[in-house]
Amino acid sequence: MRKFTYSLMLFTGIFFISCSSDDDGIDITTCADGVMNGDETGVDCGGSCAPCETAIENPTNYVFTRDGQNTVSFDGQTTRIKMGQELLSTFNVPTNSLQKLTGMFAHEEGADDFEDASLNASDKSLRSKVAASADYFSTNATDQALIRTKVDGFISAQVNEVYPNWEVAAAAGTAGQIADGERTRYVSGQGLEYNQLFAKSLIGSLMADQMLNNYLSPSVLDEGENIDNNDEGVVEEGKPYTTMEHKWDEAYGYAYGLNADPSNPNADLGADSFLNEYIERADSDDDFSGIADEIFQAFKLGRAAIVAKKYDVRDQQANIIRENISKVIAIRAIYYLQGGKSKLSLETPNYGGAFHSLSEAYGFIYSLQFTRKPNTGEPYFSKSETEAFLTSLLEDGENGLWDVTPDTLDTISEAIAARFDFTVAQAAE
């Protein structure tokens, strides 16, 4: 694993790149007088504080302009997150029809699917971006279709299995309602809470996949004439940004599209029910404190590197983002597996609370196949591996989560943690 160290000139906002380099990666530092003494390739510029490369201007917030105009734009990502929010808010409304929910998921421009009229007018949809990344699915239509069908199935199962038993007490093999303290959960006969499966699987299949395997990928950033146009400052027609700048911003939007001030998203993390919320949750754990800022700083420096035409620095930041977003997904999968185990282990098991946690775990485990190991084209876990985890989660007995054992939850947790640099105990806190 590479480790990157940063030092920022607080007053000038200039990010300098030193000529020091070692096996652990690049140490980015500055000279005392604010002039760098090397470059990012490790070239020795004589050891003195004299410039040998153009500096990267790294702003305090995610704010980038050209000729006085804002160049940051990710409206499409904000729209899709809003669609997801509204769909989730209606998932547990048993009067909804399957047509209503699938219409919200696979929205067509002009269809009256949402309460928000601006969403109805949009040509965006959630389903069209599920399993749609250039790197993982442009030549993998078979898996794309299977994944979209799987996510469709969470919606149809909610309508066909859970809605008819809305007032029925859930039991092993019987869908219905179940208490979780003062709350009521609605689960399938196997204890699955489909709104949680849907929401958490969307974090991977849409948000993470589009971010890590599409918009941050050189295959998208450098497509066609993007490098030449970015080098020459050629902007998209009628827009203030280059295509490369915009693609990077679209990745950023899947993390921060609903923040009150997207240029400073760490000020109100938890602004949506998807990736933003769980970056905040991971960061709130002392074992992972700082991960939110590491992700934000990498996004910001990567964008600044595009402006400075430093594409190797850009790609280094993309790898930092891939590693940390993947880690967030893995942390939360283990957190909910262990949370479910603790609720089942009570003298009087809290089945409602356990099924809620384990349903969240199910969705995060499903999302592992959309993660990305740095400097590779591979996820941390393949589709077949994630499916094997989910089969194990439900196969301890004929009634799924009603029968799951602590040993199974520990085995899956340990297998996930083994591919990262943290323990089950750290993730479970």
With 0-12 / 13-18 / 19 or more C-beta atoms within 10 angstroms meaning exposed / middle / buried, residue 288 is buried
> What is the pLDDT at residue 15?
53
Residue 1 neighbours by CB distance under 10 Å: 11
> What is the pLDDT at residue 53?
58
Spatial separation of the C-alpha atoms in residues 324 and 374, rounded to whole Å: 10
Structural domain boundaries of the chain?
Answer: 1-58
- List Cβ neighbours of 137 (8 Å cut-off, separation of 6 or more): 131, 143, 144, 209
> What is the pLDDT at residue 32?
38
Helix axes 406-417, 351-367, angle to 10 degrees: 30
> What are the per-10-residue average pLDDT scores of the chain (429 residues)?
34 44 40 41 42 78 97 98 98 97 98 97 98 98 98 98 98 98 97 98 98 98 98 98 98 98 97 98 98 98 98 98 98 98 97 98 98 97 98 97 98 98 96
> What is the pLDDT at residue 255?
98
Spatial separation of the C-alpha atoms in residues 206 and 362, rounded to whole Å: 16
